[in-house]
Amino acid sequence: MKERLTLDGDSQPFWKTKTLEQLSPEEWESLCDGCGRCCLIKLEDEDTSEVYTTKLACSMLNVRTCQCKDYANRFSKMPDCLQIDVKRARELKWLPPTCGYRIVDEGRDLPWWHPLISGSPETVHQAGIAVSSFAMSEKRVKEENYWRYIIPDLSTEEQQAAPEQPRQRKERVASSGRSR
Ligand code: SF4
Ligand code: SF4
């Protein structure tokens, strides 16, 4: 029997009744809204350990659709791509508050634009949540200039002042969300 995605036995959506640990693989995948925010290049200041987000997207990301160009083989093709699991969903401070995993873990309800609510992946773009509205591929920029593309912190409501050029290293992650 095909697994039901949205409702449990009490007619409650699964994201209201389950913890992250209790989600089936299919439910886990469906919580990813496909925004692409976790595929933006992060820079870590080696002196302060401060992590800054840039508007530069992983070279494997289709910036227009926010889909990974080879999601099934992403770890072999992009060795520093990380899979988001329950532990990382809780520990990675830079995950945006709009991320479906953070929303469920914090006991909030999914917003109108989430595909599980709207029924369409397009609403993530329409709401301006997807990085398609501002991101550009890292392929267009020399690595020593990545710091010039630092953007305000996406993980809080407050904006984070761009630093002087940090001693940088790259970090990237990928959701374990739906197949792209
Ligand atoms: S894991 Fe979260 S931040 Fe990354 S694409 Fe999915 S919803 Fe967006
Ligand atoms: S899922 Fe990984 S390899 Fe694919 S675009 Fe995102 S960071 Fe890059």
Residues with CB under 6 A from ligand 2: 39, 58, 60-61, 68, 74, 78, 81, 172, 174
First CA to last CA across the chain, in angstroms?
24
Per-residue pLDDT tens over the stretch 87-128 = 999 999 889 999 999 999 999 999 999 999 999 999 999 999
Nearest-CA residue for atom 4 of ligand 1: 38
CA-CA distance, 44 to 61, in Å (whole number)?
A: 21
Task: Give pLDDT, residue 40.
Answer: 96
Per-residue pLDDT tens over the stretch 151-177 = 987 766 444 444 555 566 666 665 544
Dihedral sign (CA 147, 42, 117, 74): positive
Dihedral sign (CA 62, 67, 68, 73): negative
Domain boundaries, given as residue ranges, for the chain: 37-98+132-171
Question: What's the pTM value of the predicted model, to 2 decimals?
Answer: 0.85
CA-CA distance, 91 to 87, in Å (whole number)?
A: 6
Taking the centre of ligand 2 as the mean of its atom positions, its distance from the CA of residue 139, in whole angstroms, is: 13
Per-residue pLDDT tens over the stretch 123-156 = 999 999 999 999 999 999 999 999 999 998 776 6
Residues with CB under 6 A from ligand 1: 32-38, 84, 95-96, 99-101, 175, 177
